[in-house]
Amino acid sequence: MTEKQYKGIAGNFLICDVQKEYAEHLLSILVKRFGMRFQFHFFSNVKKIEQFAEKAEIEILLIAEDCVSEIRGNVKAKKKFILSESMKKEEKQGETTIFRYQSADEILKIIQSGIGEEEAKAAHKPQKKTEEKYDAVQSDFTAPKRKIGIRDEPEESGLIGIYSPIHRIGKTEFALCLGEKISEKVPTLYINMEGYSGNDFYFKGEKNQDLGDLLYYLKQERIDYGLKASLMTGQYKQLDYIMPISNENDLREVTKKEWIYFLDTIMDQCIYKAVILDLGDCVSGLYDILKKCSRIYTPYIQDEISMAKMRQYEENLKTAGYSDILKRTMKRQMRVK
């Protein structure tokens, strides 16, 4: 396609994100909803966005917050949406912040509002994505093999596991942030199952009872277990939590069978629709717990040692017969300060 022909196509909608699997699935959802109105393009390289902007007008730019600082002032778009890792909104003029870890329906509502109701109605009919490509700037998009990260329909229920073989990368902060967001819609419980949870840092104020006590009550086969669990919870904004076990050795002594029974009981007898499990390495039956989760988030950082750990973890899952865990896993790249 020539530059002249390319400029003649109205409504260029660009997506820029380094999390390719997430962005590819989001792209497929957007094409279904707004395919009649926009020409979609996906890039994982900011430089290519700048090259694109030199050749054609951009109507909508949906860009990850990791990338936006590199293009502010260099790339013009009629409307900009910023995919944020945080629920805190620090919006600049002409920009709308979107929390990336929410349902696809919520993301679409924000985009619809941003582009205007009339345009959204006209764009609602699905259309197959065009096969035409921009000669000077090739799209990085390849069709996703499976859906990751964004949900066509909200699945904010069940057990949600947060685990990584890589440490000290903000896993607990991410788990709490995710739990906060889900708790805005459904009753949500956060359970930290790490040997060293740092509970005094995250949860201020003393609690007389912790997760160890709740596990003990379970052994007593109390008929009011759901009520007992509810009375033991603290609250972090709208998110309920149980104080973690403070002694790592006590955590190690909890058996796989006890963990599975505990999680089943919490889901059956308590009010919670979603339970966030912040998992550590010393949990007995870690793979079996992950297998019970409807979704698993695996935070990571992209350096040589961390990538080697990720490969080893994934290979161990396959060797042990737990490869199905990977099918429900969304990797989340972290920024270490």
Write out pLDDT tens, residues 265-304.
999 888 889 999 999 999 999 999 999 999 999 999 988 9
At 249 the pLDDT is: 93
pLDDT band at 323 (very low <50, low <70, confident <90, very high): very high
Worst-scoring range by mean pLDDT, 40-54, 162-176, 220-234?
220-234
User: Which residues, listed in sequence order, are joined to residue 95 by a DSSP beta bridge?
Assistant: 80
* More reliable by pLDDT, 109 or 131: 109
Positive or negative, the CA dihedral 236, 238, 242, 245 is: negative
Query: Do residues 306 and 221 touch, judged by C-beta distance below 8 A?
Result: no
At 145 the pLDDT is: 38
- The mean per-residue pLDDT over the stretch 33-39 comes to 81
Query: Do residues 202 and 172 touch, judged by C-beta distance below 8 A?
Result: yes
At 150 the pLDDT is: 46
Burial of 87 (0-12, 13-18, 19+ CB in 10 A): middle
Query: Do residues 241 and 203 touch, judged by C-beta distance below 8 A?
Result: yes
200-204, 226-230, 330-334 — most confident range: 330-334
User: Which residues, listed in sequence order, are joined to residue 160 by a DSSP beta bridge?
Assistant: 276, 295
Q: Given this chain, do its domains 3-123 and 158-333 carry the same CATH topology?
A: yes
74-83, 314-323, 324-333 — most confident range: 314-323
At 85 the pLDDT is: 82
Instruction: Enter the CATH code of domain 3-123.
Output: 3.40.50.10850
Count helices and strands (H / E) in the chain: 15, 12
pLDDT at 336 over 80: no
Whole-angstrom CA distances from 305 to 20, 164, 337 are 21, 13, 18
Burial of 40 (0-12, 13-18, 19+ CB in 10 A): buried
d(CA 241, CA 236): 7
d(CA 240, CA 271): 11
pLDDT at 62 over 90: yes
Query: Do residues 229 and 214 touch, judged by C-beta distance below 8 A?
Result: yes
- CATH domain 158-333 topology: Rossmann fold (3.40.50)
Q: 290-299, pLDDT tens digit by residue?
A: 999 999 999 9
pLDDT at 116 over 80: no
Q: 142-170, pLDDT tens digit by residue?
A: 333 333 444 433 356 899 999 999 999 99
The token pair that represents 77 in the structure block: 């778009």
pLDDT at 51 over 70: yes
54-68, 106-120, 157-171, 222-236 — most confident range: 157-171
Query: Do residues 63 and 149 touch, judged by C-beta distance below 8 A?
Result: no
At 163 the pLDDT is: 97
CB neighbours (10 Å) of residue 123? 22
The token pair that represents 86 in the structure block: 């945080």
Worst-scoring range by mean pLDDT, 82-96, 132-146, 297-311?
132-146
pLDDT at 120 over 60: no
Element (H, E) at 182: helix 171-183
CB neighbours (10 Å) of residue 85? 19
At 142 the pLDDT is: 35
Token pair 């400029």: residue = 7
d(CA 196, CA 247): 8
Residue among 245, 119, 154 nearest 193 (CA) = 245
Q: Are strands 274-279 and 329-333 parallel, antiparallel or unpaired?
A: unpaired
At 39 the pLDDT is: 83
Whole-angstrom CA distances from 219 to 178, 214, 259, 311 are 31, 9, 12, 38
Percentage of the chain modeled with pLDDT above 70: 78
Residue 146 carries which side chain, given as an amino acid letter? R
pLDDT at 32 over 50: yes
* More reliable by pLDDT, 59 or 55: 59
pLDDT band at 70 (very low <50, low <70, confident <90, very high): confident
User: Which residues, listed in sequence order, are joined to residue 63 by a DSSP beta bridge?
Assistant: 16, 82
* More reliable by pLDDT, 324 or 94: 324
pLDDT band at 307 (very low <50, low <70, confident <90, very high): very high
For the chain, give every domain's residue range: 3-123, 158-333
